[in-house]
Amino acid sequence: MIENSMFEEEPDVVDLAKEPCLHPLEPDEVEYEPRSSRLLVRGLGEHEIDDDEEDYESSAKLLGMSFMNRSSGLRNNMSVYRQNPSGSCSVPSTRTMVVCTVVLVIAVSLIMAIYLLPKCTFTKEGCHKKNHTMELIYPLATNGKLFPWAKIRLPPDVVPLHYDLVLQPNLTTLKFAGSVKIVVNIVQVTWKIVLHSSGLNITKATITSAGGHQEKPVEFLEYPLHDQLAVIAPEALLVGQNYTVSIEYSSNLSDTYYGFYKISYKDENSKQRWFAATQFEPVAARSAFPCFDEPAFKATFLIKIKRDEKLSTLSNMPKKATTPVTNGIVQDEFFVSLKMSTYLVAFVVADLKNISRETNGSLVSVYAIPQHLNQVGYALNTAVKLLEFYQKYFLINYPLEKLDLVAIPDFQSGAMENWGLITFRETTLLFDSNTSSARDKKLITAVIAHELAHQWFGNLVTMEWWNDLWLNEGFATFMEYFAMEEIFPELHSDEDFLNLIFKAMMKDSLNSSHPVSSAVQSSEQIEEMFDALSYIKGASLLLMLKHYLTKDVFQAGIEVYLHNHSYGSAQSDDLWDSMNEITNGTLDVKKLMKTWILHKGFPLVTVVRKGKIISVQQEKFLYCMEPENWTSDASYLWHIPLTYITSSCNLTHCTNAYLLDQKSAVIELPEEVEWVKFNVDMNGYYIVHYAEDWKTLIDLLKKNHTALSPKDRANLINNIFNLAGLGKESLEKAFELIDYLNKENSTAPLTQALFQLSLIYSLLEKKGEQQLAARVMHRIEHLLGDKIDQQSWTDDGTLSERELRSTLLAFACTHGIRNCRATATEMFEKWMKSNGTMSLPSDVMKAIFTAGAKSSDGWEFLLKTYSSSVSEAEKNKMIEALASTEDVRKLIWLMQNSLEGEVIRAQELSRIVATVSQSLPGYLLAWDFVKENWEKLTRKFHLGSYTIQNIISWSTSQFATKAHLLEVKSFFESKSEESSQLRCVKEAIDTIQLNIQWMEGNLAKLRELL
């Protein structure tokens, strides 16, 4: 469906079906590759065709786009063929002319009709009727010839087995040359090999048959709209045979964050240096070398890189040999890789230093530019511990002899799991004991845990297509938090995961949400799958399943899945089938989980308790959107593994389970209880409404809040505020529930309450309701003021206490609560007087910098220090402080400079826009910046990318007026169809509509309440 509409809009597409004598596309060829024997243009179809088809081919030749024009031109011109009187011929009469013209036209028409009819017309059998319901549409290649493939997905008739890749990047000219030899196997007879190529200047292509030694030059066609390259074979390629396609090409090192791209940085002597690295996921390997750039097309790779002898190279595999090429240039050859997808291929060319340690036969190394080598120790220790844990848990050894972790100076995402060569943003790998906070340590640990989990989930077993990206990212996210709890319990990573689930549910509650497993085709759609739902919802569904199956059954199911699909591809059903092998008929995991991954949104479970009887009922949690944007699926039924605890909980039996696979059900307790709490520790992906029981739970929190776990308390806060937004519960009751917070000491409930109240404050402030916003802030101060006062300006305490300190003091200094700003400003001034040499406590550094950036001198000093700092952790905190100034000119300069990547790298832009958007002076500036720089933004970061998603989300999330809603809608409608159809654009519009509804429904209540 999508291909046809897309092609019809392109000006350079030829529609063959409109010519009556050509074969139409067979119905079964619409979804799959059109059979080449039916592609009736010389040089593109099979040569072995029958007599009927020869006639069709002749017709096709005659009908080649100019025939009809010539014949109509002939007829038109004949009517004016009269010689002038000075000629020797007399002028025929008008009647004679008309008769002759009619006769001639009839004769030509008859000849044409007879000629164009196939031979079968004049036989006894006649012609077989063809199905004309479908159209065969082929686009034009760049050279004007027909391109023999019309779909975004590659045809299944050819599969790659092995690549020999030779690259020579030049870090002076910032270009690279390459050659690739691809061994392919033929699955169906064909004359074409269609693969991917993007932005490559291809100079030569040849093909060699198996056992043949002669390379035969071949014609190649390019279709840039789909990043496709077609190699046209000189003869039929036979089933089961292997052929080698050789291609030579060149290109520029990319100035985006995709493909084989260039990075500049300053060395220890402040001299500019260049660095080349790769980022291929999801669809950028094709911009570094021609390849079959789809995850299921796995192959082995032999990589050789020519480089300046002063630099070093890294790739997925260990280095095999280094040989001289010419003066000052050497070639590094790496061992042949395991079978893997193209998006996992990686190489780095740079001046790097490393430290290493061996574990279980694999050498683990962490690389960085020389001035950062003293910050890689923590990452190495962490990586070794995690690698050992995963090998034991999966019962599969890490299969490579080495694992490199590389800190890249400019990197769009947090990290990338390339097999054997994991690339990281510097802030997610480098730990500086002087400037890295408790939160920084947690971030580094989490990112390493995530990427190492991918070495099994994603690399060893890969999703078949991007619709099941969650199999990679959801699993890696789940394992990241599970591994951290097992190995680093002091980090309390489960609290972070809880907050991420809350945020994913906000996104999933919108009408513009999507199922975890969703159909995708275009590169923009694929990019958009990298979102909170693939990562966080995917992970939380696995968490729910693990608790329901029990940890041992779940682990056994994972082991079966990995063993069954090693070095291959998988779909969601393969995972459920593996789990079912372990449950052995006691539970149909596939039936249960399909209700979650194939449907967007999540259930709202309403609980009504009467004596020992609990009635539970499920419905979809859905905000009422405007009719034009609303899609109803309210009757949808989830299979919900409910969990609950009651006041009669004892040490031997606390958590109870019940599978709600009907619209409603009744649970009978063994005895009457004082209270019941569902969704224990928020291990299920649903929201609970307690109807009359909210009052009981509010009283419980006031009298004895520790009767519930910190995660359960955070869960109640989140649920009641969401229900207030839905109109199912009053805002008054939500505020009543958090009244107990002055007794709260745990991070999870405090941060959740702060998050919910901050959302309300921000909406009121941006709506111009300053007095009401001030009353919300006063309520926050009333609840948390004493807690803020108790915080020391040090790095003392447990990691959880230190992280809470960072959160509370940064919030207090931003909003001027108590004497936070005065204390922070005083510390900043002392630090400034020491010219930045004085040591500041890392956990409160952000709060101090934020206070300091309020003054013009402080802001300028921070910017100067930022430029010279060698600590990425410190620079990270400075960026947020610089973006929190109230000076409009400075905010504009900061965003513009980051986009240009001069003083501040473009990788920071998303966070700068997010910080600017949250302030009253900045929120309109951020949106104006996005509008004015949209083309530059999408060129640098690509449509649909996580960065673009974040920039759109943050720059519009504070809007709560119909005027802003119209402006955002109009802006994106004025852009390309690809831009206006982005899911993140629809989410932004949904969010603004909800903000408007929230204000209309709650403004008057808030005035009464506060």
Confidence of residue 137 (pLDDT cuts 50, 70, 90): confident
pLDDT above 70 for 564: yes
Compute the distance between CA of residue 60 and CA of residue 19 in angstroms, rounded to an integer: 9
> Do strands 329-334 and 300-308 pair parallel, antiparallel, or not at all (unpaired)?
antiparallel
Worst-scoring range by mean pLDDT, 56-60, 567-571, 861-865?
A: 56-60
Confidence of residue 109 (pLDDT cuts 50, 70, 90): low
Tokens (6 digits) for 890: 């400075």
Which whole-number Å values give the CA distances from 293 to 12, 284, 451, 523, in the listed order? 25, 8, 21, 12
* Residue (of 749, 758, 761) closest to 787 by Cα position: 749
- Pair 30, 137: CB distance under 8 Å: no
SS3 labels along 331-351: EEEECCCCCECHHHCCEEEEC
For the CA atoms of 731, 736, 742, 748, the dihedral, rounded to the nearest 10 degrees, stands at -60
Q: What sign has the CA pseudo-torsion 928, 934, 935, 940?
A: positive
- Pair 598, 517: CB distance under 8 Å: yes
Beta bridge partners of 205: 247
Burial per residue of 675-699, b for 16 or more beta-carbon CB atoms within 10 angstroms, e otherwise: bbbbbbbbbbbbbbbbeebbebbbe
pLDDT digits (tens, 9 = 90+) for 381-402: 999 999 999 999 999 999 999 9
- What pLDDT sits at residue 21? 35
Confidence of residue 52 (pLDDT cuts 50, 70, 90): very low
**What SS3 state is found at 981?**
coil
- Pair 216, 224: CB distance under 8 Å: no
pLDDT digits (tens, 9 = 90+) for 514-547: 999 999 999 999 999 999 999 999 999 999 999 9
pLDDT above 70 for 778: yes
> Do strands 158-170 and 175-186 pair parallel, antiparallel, or not at all (unpaired)?
antiparallel
- Pair 708, 716: CB distance under 8 Å: yes
pLDDT above 90 for 629: no
Q: Degrees (nearest 5) of the Cα angle 229, 235, 237? A: 70
Q: What sign has the CA pseudo-torsion 490, 492, 493, 496?
A: negative
User: What mean pLDDT value characterizes the chain?
Assistant: 87
Compute the distance between CA of residue 239 and CA of residue 244 in angstroms, rounded to an integer: 14
* Residue (of 522, 531, 403, 513) closest to 473 by Cα position: 531
Residue type (1 letter), 613? I
* Residue (of 434, 991, 517) closest to 762 by Cα position: 991
- What pLDDT sits at residue 650? 67
- What pLDDT sits at residue 123? 43
Neighbours of 18 (CB within 10 A): 10
Q: What is the DSSP string of 787-821?
A: HHHH--SSS-S-HHHHHHHHHHHHHHHHHT-TTHH
- What pLDDT sits at residue 632? 55
> Do strands 640-646 and 676-678 pair parallel, antiparallel, or not at all (unpaired)?
antiparallel
pLDDT digits (tens, 9 = 90+) for 312-349: 999 999 999 999 999 899 999 999 999 999 999 999 99
- What pLDDT sits at residue 870? 87
- Pair 422, 339: CB distance under 8 Å: no
Compute the distance between CA of residue 369 and CA of residue 3 in angstroms, rounded to an integer: 46
- Pair 956, 916: CB distance under 8 Å: no
DSSP 950: H
* Residue (of 394, 320, 401, 315) closest to 359 by Cα position: 401
Tokens (6 digits) for 79: 């009517």
pLDDT digits (tens, 9 = 90+) for 215-239: 999 999 999 999 999 999 999 999 9
pLDDT above 90 for 211: no
DSSP 283: T
pLDDT digits (tens, 9 = 90+) for 146-195: 999 999 999 999 999 999 999 999 999 999 999 999 999 999 999 999 99
Instruction: Classify residue 441 as left (phi > 0), alpha (psi -120 to 50) or beta.
Output: alpha
- Pair 847, 883: CB distance under 8 Å: no
> E-strand spans in 466-612?
568-570, 603-610
pLDDT above 50 for 76: no
Instruction: Classify residue 567 as left (phi > 0), alpha (psi -120 to 50) or beta.
Output: left
Q: Of 402-416, 620-634, 651-665, which has the strongest mean pLDDT? A: 402-416
- What pLDDT sits at residue 631? 53
Q: What sign has the CA pseudo-torsion 666, 667, 669, 673?
A: negative
H or E element, residue 588 = none
* Residues that are catalytic: 451
Confidence of residue 976 (pLDDT cuts 50, 70, 90): confident
**What SS3 state is found at 532?**
helix
- What pLDDT sits at residue 582? 97
Compute the distance between CA of residue 801 and CA of residue 795 in angstroms, rounded to an integer: 9
pLDDT digits (tens, 9 = 90+) for 898-932: 999 989 999 999 999 999 999 999 999 999 999 99
Percent of the chain with pLDDT over 70: 85
Mean pLDDT, range 781-797, rounded to an integer: 94
Worst-scoring range by mean pLDDT, 281-285, 796-800, 959-963?
A: 796-800
Beta bridge partners of 304: 166, 333
- Pair 694, 729: CB distance under 8 Å: yes
Q: Degrees (nearest 5) of the Cα angle 635, 519, 910? A: 100
pLDDT above 60 for 726: yes
Q: Kindly tell me the burial class for residue 840, based on how many C-beta atoms sit within 10 Å of its own C-beta (0-12, 13-18, 19 or more).
A: buried
Compute the distance between CA of residue 473 and CA of residue 454 in angstroms, rounded to an integer: 8
- Pair 348, 277: CB distance under 8 Å: yes
Confidence of residue 67 (pLDDT cuts 50, 70, 90): very low
Worst-scoring range by mean pLDDT, 78-92, 310-324, 811-825?
A: 78-92
- What pLDDT sits at residue 110? 55
pLDDT above 90 for 136: no
Phi, psi of 790 (to 5 degrees): -75, -15
Compute the distance between CA of residue 528 and CA of residue 952 in angstroms, rounded to an integer: 13
Compute the distance between CA of residue 707 and CA of residue 713 in angstroms, rounded to an integer: 10
Compute the distance between CA of residue 877 and CA of residue 813 in angstroms, rounded to an integer: 14
pLDDT above 50 for 130: no
Residue type (1 letter), 551? K
Compute the distance between CA of residue 405 and CA of residue 450 in angstroms, rounded to an integer: 13
Q: What is the DSSP string of 194-210?
A: EEE--S-EEEEEEEEET
Which whole-number Å values give the CA distances from 123 to 52, 131, 611, 915, in the listed order? 11, 21, 87, 78
pLDDT digits (tens, 9 = 90+) for 155-167: 999 999 999 999 9
**What SS3 state is found at 615?**
strand
Neighbours of 843 (CB within 10 A): 29
Mean pLDDT, range 469-489, rounded to an integer: 97
- Pair 726, 477: CB distance under 8 Å: no
**Which residues, other chains included, contact 995 with Cβ-Cβ below 8 Å and sequence gap of 6+?**
763, 958, 959, 960
**Which residues, other chains included, contact 972 with Cβ-Cβ below 8 Å and sequence gap of 6+?**
979, 980, 982, 985
Residue type (1 letter), 471? L
Which whole-number Å values give the CA distances from 607 to 357, 553, 644, 727, 844, in the listed order? 54, 30, 11, 17, 43
DSSP 828: H
Axis crossing angle, helix 377-394 with helix 438-454, rounded to the nearest 10? 40
Residue type (1 letter), 184? V
DSSP 613: E
Beta bridge partners of 265: 273
- What pLDDT sits at residue 833? 95
Compute the distance between CA of residue 662 and CA of residue 787 in angstroms, rounded to an integer: 45
pLDDT above 70 for 13: no
Compute the distance between CA of residue 312 and CA of residue 307 in angstroms, rounded to an integer: 8
- What pLDDT sits at residue 274? 92
Compute the distance between CA of residue 468 and CA of residue 518 in angstroms, rounded to an integer: 7
